[in-house]
Amino acid sequence: MKRFFEVVSKDPQRASSSSEPDSESTEGINESPEKDKECEKSKKQKYEQKYVKYWESEFKWLSEGTKGCHYAFCKVCSVDVYIGKMGKSAIKSHANTQIHTKNAGTISLNLVQQNIEPLFSSASKTAVIDAEIMMAVFVAEHNLAF
């Protein structure tokens, strides 16, 4: 099986003068084109996702990260989530973790209890206290035994 060689010369005059590879010099010969493709991939500039304020409308528990622009802060777990590589997918995967779902469940239960408490505390307690006072005054005024 033949191997295909590509001549890569650092000297432009030498590369233009001969179209065939020089047998004496092997420093500029690349043996496999796969290695060239790998090198091209590594040269590509990688982009890291930054935090987007718009995500807060979709995820109410999200805010800007404390560690930098490539992080998002989870208010439920009190954790910075790295979003540099995955972006919004990193936030979604964090939302599906057991710790986050457990913490979110306990917070929602606390909110429900806080909303119910004012209904029973103020109006009903004052009405009961007023009725007890009126009963005590009536018993004392009419000299009744109880």
Report pLDDT for 49. Answer: 87
pLDDT, residue 127, reads 83
Q: Which residues in the chain come in under a pLDDT of 50?
A: 1-2, 9, 15-18, 22-23, 39
Only one residue has tokens 């500039």, namely: 45
Domain boundaries, the chain: 6-43, 55-96
Report how far residue 13's alpha carbon sits from residue 29's, in angstroms, rounded to the nearest whole number.
16
**CA 40, CA 36: separation in Å to the nearest integer?**
6
The structure tokens listed for 25 are 């010099």
The predicted model scores a pTM of: 0.46
Gap between the Cα atoms of 22 and 28, Å rounded: 10
Percentages of the chain per state (helix, strand, coil), in multiples of 5: 50, 10, 40
